Amino acid sequence: MTTRHIISLLLENEAGALSRVAGLFSARGFNIETLTVAPTHDATLSRMTIVTSGTEAIIEQINKQLNKLVDVVQVKDITEGEHIERELVMIKISTAGLDCDQVRQIITEHEADVVDQQDDTCVIELLGNSEKINTLIAAMAQYPLLEVVRSGVSGIARGAEVLSI
Partner 1 sequence: MELTGAEIITEFLKDEGVEYVFGYPGGAVLHIYDAIYRQDAVKHVLSRHEQGAVHAADGYARSNGKTGVVLVTSGPGATNAVTGIATAYMDSIPMVVITGQVPSPLIGNDAFQEVDTVGITRSCVKHNFLVTDVEELTETLKKAFIIASTGRPGPVVVDVPKDITGFKTEYSYPESIEIRSYTQFYHPPAEQITQAVEMVRAAQRPVLYTGGGVILGDAAAELSEFARMATIPVTNTSMGLGGYPATDKQFLGMLGMHGTYEANMAMHNTDLLIAVGARFDDRVTGNIEKFCPQAKIIHIDVDPSSISKNVQVDLPIVGCVKDVLSDMLVLLKQQPIAEEERLAPWWSEINEWRSEDCLAFKNDDGMIHPQHVLQELYKVTHGDAYICSDVGQHQMFAAQYYKFDKPRRWINSGGLGTMGFGLPAAMGAQFAHPDATVCTITGDGSIQMNIQELATCKEFGLPIKIINLNNGFLGMVRQWQEFFYERRYAEVTLEAQNQPDFVKLAEAYGHVGMRITNPDDVTSALEEAMAMKDKLVFMDFIINPEENVYPMVPAGAGLNEMILV
Site for partner 1 in 65-124 (CB under 8 A): 65, 67-68, 70-73
- Measure Cα distances from 74 to 7, 38, 120 in Å: 10, 15, 47
User: Nearest 5°: CA angle at 136, between 159 and 157?
Assistant: 10
Closest CA to 91 of 50, 131, 138: 138
Tell me if 165 contacts partner 1 by CB under 8 A. yes
Site for partner 1 in 132-161 (CB under 8 A): none
Closest CA to 20 of 62, 72, 64: 72
| 91, 123 contact by CB (below 8 A) | yes
Tell me if 13 contacts partner 1 by CB under 8 A. no
Site string for partner 1, 46-65 (x = CB under 8 A): -----------x--xx--xx
23, 142, 145, 161: which one binds partner 1 (CB under 8 A):
23
Number of chain positions touching partner 1 (CB under 8 A): 20
| 80, 161 contact by CB (below 8 A) | no
Tell me if 33 contacts partner 1 by CB under 8 A. no
| Site for partner 1, rule CB under 8 A | 11-12, 15-16, 19-20, 23, 27, 57, 60-61, 64-65, 67-68, 70-73, 165
